[in-house]
Structure 1
Amino acid sequence: MDAGELDWKRTLREQWAVHWRHQLRARLEGLTDDEYFCSPVQDAWSVRPHGRSKAPVQFGAGDFTIDLAFPQPVQATFATIARRLGHVIVGVLVAPYAAQMGAPAASYETWEYAASAATALYPLETQLDVWLARVRGLGGTGLRVPIGEKEPFPEALMADLVLHIHRELIHHLSGVCLLRDLYLHTSPATNGAAR
């Protein structure tokens, strides 16, 4: 590669990897179950034991389900950290790359949702590692391939999908960080305590 040629594969991979390493990962350290399930508003969507949800749709293969609705409500429903992490793991990471990159199929229906903060962070990190490995394996040519009929915009390139996934990751995980800040400043048990 000459000095004037941009290495898109590296650039796209580093876009997410640097953000994760330097801004997000440390913010998730010490996530407690109270924070994970905290609902600062009534009827927030979450991850709940089977049979305890009032959401229009509840999916999950294990002991817990994730709250959903199809179609999505016009006004977004507030979501707990548990729900946001479940969405990031399944809806942002696992399902899209399963369809596009040959990973084992997974969906909201078949996923086993985490019953605690600690057990949610492991699959998040695992799936992020898998995602970055798949992006690394695309190569310059792979980034230029149209994503095809499996997506709403079949003419878009794989690079477009990578950028979209990264935007989704940054958006949703920044929301998790904001909820942690809100919890820290409003919960009587932690008010004023340093993390």
Structure 2
Amino acid sequence: MTRSERLAEQLDWHWHKSLRPRLDGLTDEEYFWEPVRGCWSIRPRGTSTAPMSEGSGEWTLDYAFPGPVPAPVTTIAWRLGHIIVSCLAYRVEWYFGGRDVDAGAFAYAGTADEALKQLDEMYGRWHAGVRALSDADLDNPPATGPERFPMENRILHVNRELIHHGAEISLLRDLYHWQDGAVAGPPGIGAGPTPRT
């Protein structure tokens, strides 16, 4: 394998074996589930109570700049929106000539199915771009975009982002399906010991 193939494979193995299967069967109820008060989410335009919201369509993403401390808990919808736009779409645009992306002009998904389609599209573009890089590409900063670290560093950063945010989403799915000792949900969700009664 080339270096770029090894870097791509690190995330792609996780994507196919762990993260993407854990998102199968995601319902709109789970997508928008707020486990605590004050969550940030994706909401119908004009209904957010966050300091700011961004997005161009019928749905907007809650946020603030600078971010509050401590940061609010975020829903699966918010986390998927963050992965799609901030982790993948921006970098596909900067590094691989993708379409111009602006979080303020992005049409955030109002359903789980739509969000997963956006996720699959952006992940596919990211993965193809990484696999096509040469060793020289990896050793140098990206030719475009605001980041001046070597491209290999940027790829490892995105890998970490998707792995850790994917784990957060998986945990939220587990919590949703095990609320109040409920029976486990879809296959692969909530696997573990039976709660004591």
Q: Give the counterpart letter for 1:182 in structure 2.
A: L
Distance 1:158 1:21 in 2: 23
Aligned residue type for 1:87: H
For normalisation by structure 2, the TM-score amounts to: 0.89
**Match for 1:118 among 113, 119, 124?**
113
**TM-score, length of structure 1 as denominator length:** 0.90
Number of the residue aligned with 2:195? none
Preserved contact between residue 39 and residue 75 of structure 2 (Cα < 8 Å): yes
Q: How does 1:82-101 map to 2 (within 5 A)?
A: 82-101=77-96
1:192 maps to 183
Deviations 1:1-48, CA, capped at 9 Å, x for gaps: xxxxx7211110001100000011111111011100000111100000
Q: 1:137 to 1:81 in 2, by over 3 A?
A: same
1:178 aligned onto 2:171: yes
**Aligned 8 A contact 2:48 2:62 in 1:** yes
Q: Which runs of structure 1 show a deviation greater than 4 angstroms over 4 or more consecutive aligned residues?
A: none
Tell me the number of residue pairs that the alignment of Structure 1 and Structure 2 aligns: 186
The root-mean-square deviation of aligned C-alpha atoms, in Å, is: 1.6
| Gap runs ≥5 in structure 1 | 1-5
Deviation per CA, 1:82-135: give whole Å up to 9, x if none.
000000000100012312332211021111011111111001011000000110
Q: 1:165 aligns with which of 158, 171, 196?
A: 158
Residue 9 (1) aligns with residue 8 (2): no
Report the Cα distance in structure 1 between the residues aligned to 2:177 and 2:127, rounded to whole angstroms.
31
| 1:1-195 correspondence to structure 2 within 5 Å | 7-147=2-142, 150-151=145-146, 154=148, 156-186=149-179, 191-195=182-186
Contact 1:48–1:64 (CA<8 Å) still a contact in 2? yes
Q: CA deviation at 1:147?
A: 3.2
Shift of 1:187: 6.2
Instruction: Supply the distance in 2 between the matched residues of 1:63 and 1:146 (Cα, whole angstroms).
Output: 37
What secondary structure is seen at the aligned counterpart in 1 of 2:132?
helix
Name stretches of at least 5 consecutive residues in structure 2 with no aligned partner. Answer: 187-197
Shift of 1:141: 1.4
- What CA distance in whole angstroms lies between the structure 2 residues aligned with 1:107 and 1:72? 19
Distance 1:128 1:163 in 2: 15
